Structure formats: C-alpha cells, structure tokens
Amino acid sequence: MKLSHFQFDLPKELLAEYPAENRDEARLMVIDRKKGTIEHKMFKDVIDYFDDGDVLILNNTKVFPARLYGNKEKTGARIEVFLLRELNSEQRLWDVLVDPARKIRIGNKLYFGDDDSLVAEVIDNTTSRGRTLRFLYDGSYEEFRNKLTELGETPIPKYISRDVTPEDAERYQTIYAKEEGAVAAPTAGLHFSKNLLKKLEIKGIKFAEVTLHVGLGTFNPVEVEDLSKHKMDSEELKITQEACDIVNDAKVKKKRICAVGTTSMRAAESAVSSQRTLNPFDGWTNKFVFPPHDFSIATCMITNFHTPKSTLLMMVSAFCGHDLMKKAYAEAIKEGYKFYSYGDAMLII
C-alpha cells in the first residue's frame, strides 16, 4: 500500500473544536468486518457489544501540560516550547519542539513566567524544529516539576483554532489516566464516562491497563510514498504481568478482546510472544502498523476518525480492511461525523 491510498478530502468543519457535551454521548459508528455492515449508534451503546469475560485494553497514560510560552533573551520574541520527553532528570534536560524554530539557536536563553522564574538554555539542535533544553531552576526536582505544571497548558492539538479553556484540562484526559508522561491524549478513551465504565464492570467486562506514553511521533506526517520506509518515533511502553494475564486468559477462553484506541493496539502488537500471546514489556516501541498486518491480540477496536495520510488511519485500514474503511469514512463524511481528537468514535468488530 502506498501513501496516496490514504488521501481523502476532509471538510474543515468536520474537525471537532470541542468535545461532545457528555463523554459517552459522542456518536459511534459500528463496523462489522464479517458482514461488511455499518451501523450508527451513540457511544454509550458500546456496552451492547460486550459480554461477561470480554476484555478492554486501556491505555492509562496521563497527559501533562506540555505547551509552554516563553520569551527569548534580548529580543523578547515570544516562543512556544512543546515538551516532548525528559532526557535527564538530574540535569533537567528535555527534548522539545520550538516555534518559530528559525529564531532559536544553540546558546540562546528562554525565559518563562511573568517573573522569569524559569529559564532554559538551548544546548543542541535535534531536528529542524527540535531542540534540547537545559532548564535552570533553583528549587528541588519536585518544585521544578510543579513549576512546569504551573506554567504549562493542556497540549490540545494545533488544528483546534481556539484558546485552551479550563475545561480542556479535564476533557483532554481519560477518566482512567494514571501514569503521567503523554504529550497527547489516547483519544478513543476520552469517550468513557465513570458511569459507562461502572456499567461495563457490572456486566463482567474486564480491563487490562497498559501504559504507552503518546509522543508526537504518532502524529508526524508520513512523507514517503512507500510506507515500509516510514520510521515512527519511539514511545515509552509498559505492560505488566497482570495485564498480560487478563488478556491471555480471555484469549484462551475465546472472549472478545478490544483495543481502546490505536495506542492500545500498538502497545499490544509491540509485545507479542511466538505463541501469539501478550508478553510483559518495559521499554520503548517504534512499532508502525500498516496494511497488510496480521493482528495477534485484539479481536476488535475502538478508535476515533483520523485525518488523511496519518499513521493512525493506516492502522485502522490494516484492521478493518482498506475498502471497508474507505466506505466507512465516506459515510462518516456524508453523515457529518466529527473527526480527530475531540471527535466521534468507531467500533470495529
């Protein structure tokens, strides 16, 4: 498959600027791969597709306020700094993206906060927009992290043209988020309300939690026509023995195993044993799932509607089947489904 197979015209008004009023009342498109059928539901109807002993794989990563605004020394130019990952906690080294990048060179200092209470020095160029920063801060490590949280804002995606609101801090986070480290939310999980999770639990559905800290690599554009030549950025992944036991037990019993989101699916596909069971994992993954791909763990998936040419769309195509995915997306556009992070959802069974 080529990059051009994943191009389609997406009307700008279908990019969701705001989440649904209630988490579980987004729209849900249900695709049955065997029957080739498409149904239109509400997200809370997802409970009807699961029974006692089925498993949902949830990514419990927690988004941190990764977007900072600072000023360049001397010129005072406003600079956006997007924190990607911590490289060294003792030296307070971070991989970041800067914008506008052309103004930021090695040796420059950036000042943050009304009182310039946080300073960073640029010590390396990593990519055209990437830099390594050393933060200079007098307090303890805990105080430093608190300062980042205080000065940072919720990293809602760039396509959202409005300002960040206090509501975003809550809504751009799954209700089961625990392990801080993501710079973007695993968005399929945003549709689960406390009430819906409770109902699923009462029905006997089990939850296997994995942690994949979503980085910007997930959203990096694919710029090569030959998909096998695209390299994903590495993202930190942790899968416990407990999660493996829940998933593998369901596999033996031939229960439905559902990956909630492309990140959960990528996590599972990164840790498959030779017996096609889930293995514990603690490290980094740059797994890129695109057609054709033989999935080993999940038998169904929940995902949002993705943008053209994205790696997320390629995974959905691999799981759903390319022609059925294209048909579903054409119908989603016709029916006015909302796309991307705050958009509507799809269940592929």
For position 282, what pLDDT does the model report? 97
Domain map (residue ranges) of the chain = 3-63+169-348, 67-153
CB atoms within 10 A of CB 330: 11
CA distances from 296 to 29, 276, 288 (A): 24, 6, 15
CB atoms within 10 A of CB 37: 11
DSSP string, 257-313: EEEESHHHHHHHHTSB-TTS-B--EEEEE-----SS----S-SEEEEE---TT-HHH
Name the 3-class secondary structure at 237.
strand
At residue 53, the pLDDT reads: 98
Q: How many CA atoms lie within 13 A of 167 on its CB side?
A: 10
Residue in this structure with the two tokens 């209700």, named with its chain if needed: 175
Confidence of residue 315 (pLDDT cuts 50, 70, 90): very high
Domain 3-63+169-348, CATH 3.40.1780.10 — does that match? yes
Write the pLDDT tens digit of every residue in 200-242.
999 999 999 999 999 877 767 788 999 999 988 889 999 999 9
CATH fold of 67-153: Thrombin, subunit H (2.40.10)
Mean pLDDT of the chain: 94
pLDDT at site 215:
85
What's the whole-model pTM score? 0.92
Given a cut of 80, whether residue 128 has pLDDT beyond it is no
Collect all residues with Cβ–Cβ distance below 8 Å to 248 and sequence separation of at least 6: 277, 278
Task: Dump pLDDT digits (tens) for 170-194.
Answer: 999 999 999 999 999 999 999 999 9
State percent of the chain over pLDDT 90.
Answer: 85
pLDDT at residue number 129: 80
